[in-house]
């Protein structure tokens, strides 16, 4: 069972991540679930009626598939089959920055501590980390860098802030 870091702290995970689901009948009763986007697309109305359903995206999936449903989905998980496959970083930025998704955005798969800072900057606010990982050490990794140059989902570019008093900086979500 992986551990969950959510909103900067260890958290209990209510959701069951379902990697493979053949049909609606396979869903466990009375348990919040995260289902593949294909299942969501096929059974959208039934899943909305069931409630407590999150959706996960693979690297090759298009986040735009969820554009009409963002208000209905409390959680979107983005899968990193290997941490070196960086497509999920762009998915997160599209969901947050472009499509304005406000729910939980969770990184799942091969999530290691050395990627946590970048993932957070791209808009992830929840991280499913391996059971064996030292969660306290992982939490420190969010502070690997105190700031950065670029515009991200959590800050304006430095050149727009350098002459502005700190209080005027747009706070992270």
Partner 1 sequence: MYRYDHFDQQLVNERVAQFRDQTRRFLAGELTEDAFRPLRLQNGLYIQKHAPMLRIAIPYGMLASRQLRKLAEIARRYDRGYGHFTTRQNLQLNWPRLEDVPDILADLATVEMHAIQTSGNDVRNITSDHFAGVAADEVADPRPWCELIRQWATFHPEFAYLPRKFKIAVTGASSDRTAVWIHDIGLVLVRSASGQIGCRVIVGGGLGRTPIIGRVVREFLPRAEILNYLEAILRTYNRFGRRDNKWKARIKILVKERGPEQFARDIEAEWSTLEGGAATVPDEEFDRLAAFFAPPPYVGGAADKAALNAAIADNRAFGSWVRRNVHGHRVPGYAIVTLSLKRAGVPPGDVTADEMDAIAELADRYSFGEVSVSHEQNLILRDVREADLFELWTRLKALRLATPNIGLLTDIVCCPGGDFCSLANARSIPIAEAITRRFEDIDYVHDVGDLDINMSGCMNACGHHHIGGIGILGVDKGGDEYYQVSIGGSQGNDAALGRVIGPSFAARDLPDVVECLVETYVAHRHADERFVDTVRRIGLEPFKERVYAAAH
**If binding means CB under 8 A, how many residues of this protein chain bind partner 1?**
34
For partner 1, the binding residues in 30-49 under the rule CB under 8 A are none
Mask for 91-120, x = binds partner 1 (CB under 8 A): x-x----x-------------x-xx-xxx-
Q: Which of 145, 164, 169, 172 binds partner 1 (CB under 8 A)?
A: 145
Residue 127 burial by CB count (10 A; 0-12/13-18/19+): exposed, middle or buried? Answer: buried
Q: How far is the C-alpha of 46 from the C-alpha of 23, rounded, in Å?
A: 11
Q: Rule CB under 8 A: say whether 158 interacts with partner 1.
A: yes
131 token code pair = 């059971």
* 5 in Cβ contact with 139 (< 8 Å): yes
Q: How many CB atoms sit inside 10 A of residue 18's CB?
A: 18
Task: Assess 165 for contact with partner 1 (CB under 8 A).
Answer: no
Q: Which of 11, 16, 48, 156 binds partner 1 (CB under 8 A)?
A: 156
Would you count residue 130 as binding partner 1 (CB under 8 A)?
A: no
């Amino acid at each position: 069972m992986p551990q969950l870091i959510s909103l900067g702290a260890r958290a209990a995970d209510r959701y069951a991540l379902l990697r493979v689901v053949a049909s609606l009948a396979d869903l466990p009763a009375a348990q919040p679930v995260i289902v593949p986007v294909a299942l969501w697309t096929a059974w959208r109305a039934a899943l909305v009626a069931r409630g407590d359903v999150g959706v996960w995206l693979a690297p090759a999936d298009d986040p735009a598939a969820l554009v009409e449903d963002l208000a209905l989905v409390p959680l979107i998980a983005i899968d990193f089959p290997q941490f070196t496959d960086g497509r999920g970083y762009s998915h997160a930025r599209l969901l947050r920055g472009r499509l304005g998704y406000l729910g939980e955005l969770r990184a799942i798969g091969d999530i290691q501590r050395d990627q946590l800072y970048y993932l957070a900057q791209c808009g992830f606010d929840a991280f499913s980390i391996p059971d064996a990982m030292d969660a306290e050490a992982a939490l420190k990794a969010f502070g690997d860098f105190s700031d950065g140059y670029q515009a991200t989902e959590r800050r304006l570019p430095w050149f727009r802030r350098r002459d502005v008093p700190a209080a005027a900086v747009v706070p992270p979500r």
